[in-house]
């Protein structure tokens, strides 16, 4: 900046951060871009979470049906041995 007693130079008044500076507009655009990126990341994470929940649900159903079939098999084997 200018020394004491002197008026600021043209560059000081109109340069970076002065009147008509586009850095404020660029900062706003960058913030909007960051918000959009975060929204996209959240949407992708939500979709992935839904897929993971569905896969876990299918896996749990398979385990449940497999356990049921295994218990029935053991029960049948026991009944075969005791009926002889």
* Interval 8-34: pLDDT, tens: 777 777 665 555 555 556 677 777 888
The tokens of 14 are what? 């109109």
Give the ranges where 5-22 is alpha helix by DSSP (H). Answer: 10-14
Model confidence pTM above 0.85 = no
* Residue % of the chain over a pLDDT of 70: 74
Q: Does 1 have pLDDT greater than 70?
A: no
| Cβ-count burial 2-27 (b if 16+ within 10 Å, e if not) | eeeeeeeeeeeeeeeeeeeeeeeeee
Domain boundaries, the chain: 24-83
Reading the block at residue 15, the tokens are 């340069």
d(CA 70, CA 16): 75
Q: How far separated are the first and last CA of the chain, in Å rounded?
A: 105
Residue entry with tokens 């356990």: 67
């Amino acid at each position: 900046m200018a020394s004491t007693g002197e008026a600021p130079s043209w560059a000081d008044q109109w340069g970076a951060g002065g009147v008509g500076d586009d850095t404020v507009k660029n900062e706003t655009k960058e913030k909007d871009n960051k918000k959009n990126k975060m929204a996209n990341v959240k949407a992708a994470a939500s979709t992935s979470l839904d897929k993971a929940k569905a896969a876990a649900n299918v896996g749990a159903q398979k385990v449940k049906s497999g356990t049921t079939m295994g218990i029935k098999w053991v029960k049948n084997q026991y009944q075969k041995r005791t009926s002889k």
